[in-house]
Structure 1
Amino acid sequence: MFRFAASLLATATVLSGCAQEKQLYISDAWVRLAAVEGRPAAGYFTIHGGPADATLVSVSTDVATRTELHESRMTHSGGMAMDSLRQVPVPALKQVRFAPGGKHAMLFNLNPVVKPGGTLTFTFTFADATRIQQNARVIAAGDPAPTKN
């Protein structure tokens, strides 16, 4: 009986070592429409790093003519400024959050069929050519940020 139990324990230990590693993924994606027609919408989401470091190089959607990665920051004079980001490092097993007042995706010339309560699909492209598609909820300019998708 002892040998059988030891054998089961050894097998369980080996199998737990084969458990699937955490993968790179995106969660909590949403878009706030612009308050003024013709201005860009803003996209937010959380990137969950996988087993190795990654680098986000672009976010796109079929319903905008152009999407850019930006980061808002406070200036020395106390105002806000926005910087364009060419890429965003995603450390292994860490989260990178795109949220109001920080990193975000700007969606230019958004198709007018996109309305509050709907969804759109983002394609996230990483430096190693990994591509991840993720749906994003769409909210109106004055609506509060969603707490979860």
Structure 2
Amino acid sequence: MRILGLLLVLLLGISGCSARQFYIDHGYVRLAAAPGRPAVAYFTLHGGSTDTTLVAVHSEFSLRTELHQSMTSGGMAAMKPLDQVALPAGGKVAFKPGGMHVMLFGLNPVIKPGKTMTLQFTFADGNRYDYEALVIAPGDPAPKF
């Protein structure tokens, strides 16, 4: 009976130590309202068991992408490019309207509302993750997740 109790404690201890899994959710791409303007990608990153740093987001349907931060200074709205974004272990970083986002320049016109497009996330440690983001029209409300 004592051995059975020790095994139970050991198994409970192992299940309590499981590593947090990194994942991406709530992702979508809003198409530009005017031809030639960039589309914008939004999503939420959920950190795994270790700190990491996002260094790029790419799409095969875009000629160029940039990480950006929106801000207001002196009553004026502005954006600045970001070289990287830290994602703490177990943390959450939201890319959302009015905050951080990804600009997608030169988007291929085959991308239409209602479809999905793959976004590839690259981290400083070399890890890459693909995410299928819903594509929405310029005036459509953000998807409800």
TM-score by length of 1: 0.92
Pairwise CA distance, 1:5: 4.9
State the partner residue of 2:55. Answer: 57
Q: 2:123 aligns with which of 123, 126, 142?
A: 126
- Percent identical residues: 52
**Runs (5+) with no aligned partner, structure 1:** none
**What is the 5 A alignment of 1:22-61?**
22-61=20-59
State the partner residue of 2:65. Answer: 67
- Distance between the aligned counterparts of 1:35 and 1:58, measured in 2? 24
- Distance between the aligned counterparts of 2:85 and 2:17, measured in 1? 30
**What is the letter of the counterpart of residue 134 of structure 1?**
Y
Structure 1 residues 90-146: Cα deviation after superposition (integer angstroms, max 9, x where no partner): 111000000001000000010000000000000000000010000000000000011
**What is the letter of the counterpart of residue 75 of structure 1?**
S
Structure 1 residues 58-108: Cα deviation after superposition (integer angstroms, max 9, x where no partner): 0000000001000100112x1200000000011110000000010000000
- Distance between the aligned counterparts of 1:26 and 1:9, measured in 2? 34
TM-score by length of 2: 0.94
**Runs (5+) with no aligned partner, structure 2:** none
**What is the letter of the counterpart of residue 116 of structure 1?**
P
- Distance between the aligned counterparts of 1:91 and 1:113, measured in 2? 36
Q: Aligned residue pairs: how many? A: 145
State the partner residue of 2:76. Answer: 79
**What is the letter of the counterpart of residue 87 of structure 1?**
Q
State the partner residue of 1:113. Answer: 110
Pairwise CA distance, 1:26: 1.0
**What is the letter of the counterpart of residue 44 of structure 2?**
T
- Could you say what the CA RMSD is over the residues aligned between the two structures, in angstroms? 1.4
The 3-state SS of whatever aligns with 1:80 is strand
State the partner residue of 2:136. Answer: 139
* 1:6 and 2:38 aligned: no
Pairwise CA distance, 1:8: 4.5
- Distance between the aligned counterparts of 1:143 and 1:34, measured in 2? 11
The 3-state SS of whatever aligns with 1:9 is helix
* 1:94 and 2:85 aligned: no
